[in-house]
Amino acid sequence: DSGVTQTPKHLITATGQRVTLRCSPRSGDLSVYWYQQSLDQGLQFLIQYYNGEERAKGNILERFSAQQFPDLHSELNLSSLELGDSALYFCASSVEQVSNDDEQFFGPGTRLTVL
């Protein structure tokens, strides 16, 4: 158990809908990261937040957005869903923004299925 929690575990929805994925980082971790894992693309970085502020953006679609709240939990919002958005979405957390020994610890993931 990494200490990172994600809800829900599974999500099934229809095209065009909007969903929210939730992540609670390990106690004491200030950075939260979101990654998408699909069969054809592998594990891809989406976005990072540090202590409530956006720090880095990857290949995140404009239909996707995220935020980190004062209690450090984070939410990833996916809207106008398409079939191709079906994937595993992982949240990871780490202690600091930039430092050595700043390993990222991953949650169990949310499996999103868009029908």
Partner 1 sequence: EDQVTQSPEALRLQEGESSSLNCSYTVSGLRGLFWYRQDPGKGPEFLFTLYSAGEEKEKERLKATLTKKESFLHITAPKPEDSATYLCAVQAIKAAGNKLTFGGGTRVLVKP
Answer for which of 14, 27, 28, 42 binds partner 1 (CB under 8 A) is 42
Answer for which of 2, 15, 51, 80 binds partner 1 (CB under 8 A) is 2
Q: Where are the beta strands (DSSP E) in the chain?
A: 5-7, 10-13, 19-24, 31-38, 42-50, 53-57, 64-68, 74-78, 87-94, 105-106, 110-114
Backbone angles phi, psi at 61, to 5 degrees: -70, 155
CB atoms within 10 A of CB 110: 21
Q: How many residues bind partner 1 (CB under 8 A)?
A: 32
Answer for which of 36, 107, 112, 114 binds partner 1 (CB under 8 A) is 107
Applying CB under 8 A, which residues contact partner 1? Answer: 2, 4, 31, 33, 35, 42-45, 48, 50, 55-58, 88, 90, 92, 94, 97-98, 100-109, 111
